[in-house]
Structure 1
Amino acid sequence: MAAEKILSIADLERTASKILPTASRDFFNSGATNQVTVHENSSAYQKYRILPRVLKDVSQVNTKVSLFDRDLAFPLCVSPVGLQGMAHADGELATSRACAKAGINMGISSYANHSVEQITAAGKEIGPIYHVMQLYSMTDREKEARIVHRAEAAGCKAIFLTADSPVLGVRYNEWRNGFLPPAGLDNPMIEKSSEQIQMMSHDDGFSSFNSDSHSWMREIPWLRSITNMEIWIKGVLTPEDVETAIEYGCDGVIISNHGGRQLDETPATIDVLPACAKAARGRIRIHIDGGIRTGSDIFKALALGAECCWVGRPMLWGLAYNGQKGVELMLDILYQEFKRCMQLAGCKSISEISTSSLGVVRSDGPLARL
């Protein structure tokens, strides 16, 4: 039988889901409680319609966007996702190399199976690449500071502080499966060996180091005092929190609901993006993750106010499918789709993508202009 031809992220998801062991597949693909948010993150994009302008010269289309003082090939980065070693033995090393080859940036999870030093070095072997370090608020401040200092020394440009996880969400699939990462996978950034990880449940392991007493006042001034890296807040869903991030001098926010893995029945990120972008009024950078599965999804997110998009699960599916080459394939699919979407919509540069490029489907009549 001929191998399945991978033409889309949906193809990649189907193929990877067949390859992954059940516990790993469920951990990667599932969300919290009744899976409402994890599914709506993607389906919400479908109510937006692209309004193309025709007879536009798009022969010299430019997909580049600037982030951390360098041009990205297109407005996409790979989210910080933990436990990539469950998808492929090379884990984050393969992802870093693929991102460098594609000309985009990568986030590193505190739950990475390789160290920040190894991950950044792997990407730089291929070409220029910038990384950001995802961080949880921890009860052990000295350990948290060590993560920050190691990330800065390794060349990371920003801290992505995860703000939506005082505790883990209710994840029935993890409890039913008695989920634990496979033996042999360490978490070097939070300084846990495989043996230590195997001694308690994933939920208990998280609560053993994470602080549920986090706050803007506790976290942001402290981070400012120990690092010169940019500080971004990951997990923002409301204009009010955008305003608070601005008040505390943060450099950016990622509109995110943790891929539907924390509080279920929170809104799809694309649906709260316009209000958050309006609140920002250009005073802070606005990025988005959650549910992005096509190049047209990226186009829609930019039209609604995002500067850049981040993807997590598609990277995992690429890793599971074929390691570094699988991640490269995933990124190329999204790049080619996005570029072609821009051309077909009549946009020759990122700056031409705006709310006038979209309409929204109404159940009671004609398409509504934004």
Structure 2
Amino acid sequence: MTAVTVLETDGVLAARLPGAEYLALGLVVPTGFAVDPADAPGTAHIAEHLAVRRATTAVAQPPALAAFTRCHATVFTAEALPEQATDALRAFAALTAPVRAAAQDDQALEQERRAVRHELEVTAAQPAWRIGAAVAAALAPGTGLAAEHDATVDTIGAVTRDHVDGLVAADYRPGRCILAVVGDLPARELLERAAQAGLGVPPDPGPAPQPSVRRRARRDPGLPPAHGVSFLLAGPARAAMDPWSPAVLDALVSPSGPVATAVRELSGTAPLAHTVLKCRYGWLASLAWRGDAPAALLADAAGRVRDAAVDRVVAAAARAHGRARGAPQVPTRLRDELIAQAEGSGVGPASAGVPFDVERAAALVRVLLDGARVWRLRDGAAEVIGG
């Protein structure tokens, strides 16, 4: 993998990628569903939609913006040809313009509320996401992941313009946001262009997003009875995450991985869902099976992996890390790595070239397996039943 130099100054991460035919841009705003007002879950999501509306009307030829709200970050991305760079950067600057949501008419707010409601309906139809969020409420209440399903089609109507205005005023400011930009231009020129667009400003001393605690007990009565096993990467282990740590988690909860295989051998059943939820304060990987099998079955499966199959997890992680290192760099991929670095949910592009360390990976696998938590999901809520 070709080494990439990343320059950072005043809220901008810039990297040159020789041969890139387009620019890839991303903006990280330090707000998300884990810091929504307690009485208005979904505020950050609606603010995201209104910000896109504002940015796409700020320039004559705006880029096609994509956006998504996560635990402690809201992320906007776009691609642009080199000759479109000025308009693209101005559109991104408009995302953080000092404009109140109330300046937009009621029709715009209601249109975006309906759009968010539709997205929530689509997401609610995905059992992996819903199960993962319910398990996070029981296993990882201090990470922010527990708030992932606070906003629902029923609660989104409680979000007012005052809620959105307060969130935008607090977090949608240049000094609170980080821009990532990648293209075949000198990194210093990218920094200069960002500054000219109004994006390169000294960091704001405001508070960083904090770990969230569950604000209220919530149940999801539509979830089927299930049981499963989860692995949490948090605390010191999360802070010291290696480049291959994500691959280790993926291997642990892969439907064809050693944990799922061990359960299949014991019970003859395949997983119902698998998921990895990410937050700057922790990652939670889960495997779920339909029904209410005894905790001993899952504990036995995790024990088998711990005693005999650590090497299989490490080998799968090594292969995945090797594929990532060998994959050609493209602007969007490098941009996304910079975004992960900026929001604190990943290790950043500088570590992608680090060779796989078998001993460190095996140690992480053992730590995760030793801390595996077995749980049962019934009446829409997860309950820890073993470890």
Instruction: Please confirm whether the aligned pair reaches a TM-score higher than 0.5, indicating the same fold.
Output: no
Structure having the higher Rg:
2
Structure (1 or 2) with the greater strand fraction: 2
